[in-house]
Structure 1
Amino acid sequence: MRYALLALIAGLLFPLAFAPYDLWPLMFVSIAMACFCLQQSESARQALLRGWLYGMGMFGFGVSWVHVSMHEYGEMSLWMAIPFTAVFAAVLALFYGLTFYCSWRLGRSALVFAGSWLLLDWIRGWFLTGFPWLYAGYSLIDTPFAPLAPLGGVWLLTLSAVLLASSLVQLRQPGPQRWLAGALSVLILVMTGIAHTLTFTHSSGEPQPVALVQGNIPQDLKWQISMRERTREIYHELTATIPDGYLVIWPESALTEFYQTITDFVESEGETLQQRGGAFITGVPWRTLDNGGITYRNSIAAIPLQAEDGHERVYHKQKLVPFGEYVPMQSLIRGLIPFFDLPMSGFTPGDPAQGNLQTLGHTIAPFICYEILYPEQVATRSHGSDALITISNDAWFGTSAGPLQHFQMARMRALETGRWLLRGTNNGVTAVIDDRGKVVDALPQFERDVLLSSYQPRQGTTPFMTTGVWPWLLLAALMMAAGWRFRMRQP
């Protein structure tokens, strides 16, 4: 019982390593405690339970903010929102139950534990559309380990964190696995030192002024029909104050009407900025007729929409949020509770083959909200781009830790790709992030304002952009195989 309780406590420590707390050393403490609880397990079943309790502490605390959107904006009573959130956390916790279970079966060593952790984290990122949240590596964005990200992304940082922490526990036990885990840990530290001297991308052209407009329209008012005209006025008035020559960015669904409904207004804004030597990019819902039916998409467009070559400069979001942007099995569950009928919850994903946006002579790789959490998608789309842009509406989660965690993870994409990231949101965090993942300029949350800054276009390719996750999944598999092999040799 005491080890089960210890596993739960270790899981509760895990989210404290992330924003807004940023107590990153607790990441290593949490993982070391988890590995210790695993090694004290007397059966695979016991290990499974302890791993699940660890994950329950991690997600029960780390994503507790999910209930905010359900209760405050989804019209779900608190007595229903909290159990729904608990069930969500309990399902996610199964991945760490499986991590402990596999590790126990294959030898309970630091090698197996770290390899299993990375493999199950990767599966969590795509299974049933995935929930790529709270990977251990994100907590290391502002630490000496950060330069590993261009080499192997958040995956290498995660593997490093788990291996280093669990190797400390492994030192208690005799045998060759202790030395192999120690050797890999030393290799990680050496690689980290070398990574500080490496640069994979380079400046390309002059800095470009950018203006990110933060409308800060309350979420409970944003989707009301009576608010539409006032919303247009807010964004128009804020944009009118921006000097000439700026790339102006409005956030995700800045306007809650379809582009096809407000074409004249949006195009007028774009033409005005173009005449002043600038450009305009905005998030906007999109409606098209397909095979006699109507398709809705969450989109980002460069305005004027029509490029000189006749192509539309628009990108449609590929990774949709379950229940927020589409409802699984909607024919069965729509109408059961108001949360399943949130505004704009019937979107269709965009084509993965879409091109990037072109504006002011630059190629901008676009990502909408949740998409910025998918390392491989960002790495693939970043090839040939000069900068990254992500727009979001984190107002769904109020003053909780969710938006700040989201912002921290977005910063990792800039570091992985060696490119500046422009992040426009409805109510924060609106920011400009450099190629090292550092915040250059930012607006406070929950303020209506315009962030005037600039970004440096960059070209080049990082190792992670070329290889993605596969080398680290292979290394994780080899570590698991080595741990199992050592176990089989034991008398």
Structure 2
Amino acid sequence: MRDRLLALIAGLLFPLAFAPYDLWPLLLVSIGASFWSLRHAPSAREAMLRGWLYGLGLFGFGVSWVHVSMHDYGYMPLWMAIPFTAVFAAFLALFNSLAFYASWRLGRSALAFAGCWLLIDWFRGWFLTGFPWLYAGYALIDTPFSPLAPLGGVWLLTLSAVLLSAATAECAQAGRPRWTATASILVILVLTTVSHALSFTRPAGPNQKVALVQGNIPQDLKWQLSMRERTREIYQDLTAGIPAGHLVIWPESALTEFYQTLTDFVEQEGQLLADRNSGFITGIPWRTLGDTGVTYHNSIASIPLTDDAGQERVYHKQKLVPFGEYVPMQSLIRGLIPFFDLPMSGFTAGSPEQPNLSALGHTIAPFICYEILYPELVAQRSHGADALITISNDAWFGTSAGPLQHFQMARMRALETGRWLLRGTNNGVTAVIDHHGKVVDELPQFTRDVLYSHYQPRTGVTPFMATGVWPWLLVSGLLILAGWALRMKSPT
């Protein structure tokens, strides 16, 4: 019972390492304590239970903000929203349960534990479209370990955090340092030290001024028909005072009407800005009439929409949020509860073959809200891009930790790719992040304002952009094999 409680408490500590708390040393304590609990498990079944309890604490606390969108904006009663969130957390905890079970079977070494952890994290980010949230490496964005990100992305940071924590716990538990654990710690510390001297991208031109417009339109009003004209006025008025020479960015679904309905308004705004030597990028819903009927997209467009070659400069979101942007098995569950009928929950995913956007002579890799959390997607689209842009509407989650966690994780993409990131949102956090993942400028949440800043175009390819996750999945496999070999050599 004591070790089960330890696993649960260790899981509850895990989210405190992330925004908005940022107590990152607790990440190492949490992982180390969970490994200690695993090592003391008398059976694989008990290890599985302790892993589930750890995951329950981790996700029960870490994603508790999910109930906000269900209750406040999905019109689900609180007595229903909280159990729904609990079931979601309990499901996610199964991934930790699987990692604990596998590592116990493979010998309960720090090597096997770290390898299993990373493989299961990767699987969680892929299975059923994935939930790539709260990877351990994100908590290290503002630590001395952060230069590891261009080498191996959040995956290398996660692997390092888990292996360092578990190896330290293993040394302490064994009573004398085990050579594999000691060697693991030394390798991580040496690699981290060396990474501080490495640089993979370089400036590709002068700084460009940017203006990010934060409309701060309340979520409970945003989608009302009566708010459409007022929304256009808000963004129009905020944009009118922006000086010449800026790249102007409006957030995700800044306008809640389809581009095809607002073509004249949007193109007029784009032309006014072009006349002042400015560029214009906006999030906007999109409607397409094809051979199979009408499809709808969550999109971002560079205006004027058509470039000199006659190509449309628009990107349709690829990674859609289940129940928020599309409803799985909608023929069965639409209408059961209001949450399954949220505004704009009938989108179609865009093609992976879409080109990046262009504005003011720069190529910009676009990402909409949730898809900035997919490391490989961002790494792949960053080739040839001068900068990254992500637009979002985190108003669905109110004043909870969700939007701040999202912002922290978005910053990792800038660090992984060595590119500046421009982040435009409806109500925060609107910010500009440099190629080291550091916040250059930001607006306070829940304010209606324009963020004036700049970004530096950059070129070059980081190792993570070149290789993605595969080398670290291979390393994880080798760690698991090494852990299994140690078990065969010394079963006790």
Per the normalisation by structure 1, the TM-score is 0.99
Kindly provide the CA deviation profile for residues 127-164 of structure 1, in whole angstroms up to 9, marking residues without a partner as x: 00000000000000000000000000000000000000
Mapping 1:259-298, distance limit 5 Å: 259-298=259-298
Residue 448 of structure 2 corresponds to 448
Structure 2 CA distance for aligned equivalents of residues 288 and 215 of structure 1: 27
The one-letter amino acid paired with 1:51 is G
1:163-185 per-residue CA deviation (whole Å, 9 max, x = no partner) reads 00000111145599921122122
CA contact (8 A) 1:204 1:457 kept: yes
Aligned match of 1:348 = 348
Distance 2:414 2:302 in 1: 21
Q: CA deviation at 1:290?
A: 1.5
Cα deviation, 1:85-118, whole Å, max 9, x if unaligned, reads: 0000000000000011001100001000000000
CA contact (8 A) 1:76 1:339 kept: yes
Given that 2:168 and 2:181 are in contact with CA atoms closer than 8 Å, whether structure 1 keeps it comes out as no
Which residue in 2 is equivalent to 1:480? 480
- Give the deviation of 1:486 after TM superposition: 1.1
User: Residues 40-439 of structure 1: matches in 2 within 5 Å?
Assistant: 40-172=40-172, 178-439=178-439
Contact 2:171 2:177 in 1 (8 A): no
In the TM superposition, 1:11-50 aligns within 5 A as 11-50=11-50
State the one-letter code of the partner of 2:357: L
Q: Determine the C-alpha separation between the residues in 2 that align with 1:26 and 1:190.
A: 22
Aligned counterparts of 1:174 and 1:108: Cα–Cα separation in 2: 12
Question: Which residue identity does 1:12 align to in structure 2?
Answer: L
Aligned counterparts of 1:172 and 1:482: Cα–Cα separation in 2: 20
Contact 2:167-2:184 within 8 A present in 1 as well: no
Secondary structure at the aligned position of 2:178 is classed as helix
**8 Å CA contact retained: 1:386, 1:419:** yes
Gaps spanning 5+ residues in structure 2: where? none
Displacement of 1:490:
2.0
Q: Distance in 2 between matches of 1:383 and 1:11?
A: 37
C-alpha distance in structure 2 between counterparts of 1:39 and 1:170, whole Å = 9
Q: TM-score scaled to structure 2, two decimals?
A: 0.99
Kindly provide the CA deviation profile for residues 183-235 of structure 1, in whole angstroms up to 9, marking residues without a partner as x: 12211111111111111000011100000000000000000000000000000
Whichever residue aligns with residue 287 of structure 1, its letter is R
| Superposed displacement of residue 291, structure 1 | 1.1
2:368, 2:392 within 8 Å by CA — same for their partners in 1?
Answer: yes
Q: Which amino acid aligns with 2:489?
A: R
Distance across 2 between alignment mates of 1:269 and 1:148:
42
Q: C-alpha deviations, 1:302-346, integer Å up to 9, x for none?
A: 000011101000000000000000000000000000000000000
Separation (CA, whole Å) in 1 of partners of 2:455 and 2:73 = 35
AA matched with 2:152 = G
Question: How high is the sequence identity, in percent, across the aligned residues?
Answer: 76
Partner of 2:465: 465
Aligned partners of 2:357, 2:188: CA distance in 1, in Å? Answer: 37
AA in 2 matched with 1:74 = G
Post-superposition offset of 1:488:
1.2
Partners of 2:172 and 2:162 in 1: CA distance: 17
Counterpart contact for 1:415–1:435, Cα < 8 Å? yes
What CA distance in whole angstroms lies between the structure 1 residues aligned with 2:352 and 2:182?
42
- For 1:173 and 1:263, the matched residues in 2 are separated by 66
- 2:207 maps to a residue whose letter is P
Residue type at the aligned position of 1:170: E
Partner Cα distance (1:241, 1:61) in 2:
43
Q: Deviations over 1:429-451 (max 9, x none)?
A: 00000000000000000000000
Q: Distance in 1 between the 2:336 and 2:439 partners?
A: 43
Conserved? CA contact 1:249–1:280, under 8 Å: yes
Instruction: Please give the alpha-carbon distance, in whole angstroms, between the structure 2 residues aligned to 1:66 and 1:40.
Output: 33
8 Å CA contact retained: 1:372, 1:390: yes
CA distance in 2, matches of 1:109, 1:380: 34
Q: Cα RMSD between the aligned structures?
A: 1.0
Q: Are the aligned partners of 1:211 and 1:450 in contact in 2 as well (CA < 8 Å)?
A: yes
Please give the alpha-carbon distance, in whole angstroms, between the structure 1 residues aligned to 2:67 and 2:50.
25
Conserved 8 A contact 1:202-1:460:
yes
Does the residue aligned with 1:171 lie in a helix, a strand or coil?
Answer: helix
Counterpart AA for 1:39: R
The structural deviation recorded for 1:460 is: 0.3
Aligned counterparts of 1:353 and 1:411: Cα–Cα separation in 2: 25
**Separation of aligned partners in 2, 1:22 and 1:37:** 24
Judge which range, 288-297 or 7-16, deviates more. 288-297
Look up the SS of the partner of 1:379 in the other structure.
helix
Counterpart-to-counterpart distance in 2, 1:236 and 1:228: 12
1:335 maps to a residue whose letter is G
**3-state SS of paired residue (1:216):** coil
Between stretches 481-490 and 176-185, larger displacement belongs to 176-185
Contact 1:177 1:486 in 2 (8 A): no
Query: In 2, are the aligned partners of 1:109 and 1:177 still within 8 Å (CA)?
Result: no
CA contact (8 A) 1:177 1:483 kept: no
State the distance in 1 between where 2:356 and 2:185 align.
39
1:489, 1:140 → 2: CA distance? 35
| CA 1:177–1:374: 2 relative to 1, 3 Å | farther
- Return the offset for 1:386: 0.2
State the one-letter code of the partner of 2:36. F
Structure 1 residues not aligned, in runs of 5+: none
Whether the aligned pair in 1 keeps the contact of 2:287 and 2:296 (CA below 8 Å) is yes
Please tell me whether the aligned partners of residues 249 and 281 of structure 2 are also in contact (alpha carbons under 8 angstroms). yes
Q: Displacement of 1:44 after TM fit?
A: 0.5
Alpha-carbon distance in structure 2 between the residues aligned to 1:177 and 1:376: 37
CA distance in 2, matches of 1:290, 1:279: 30
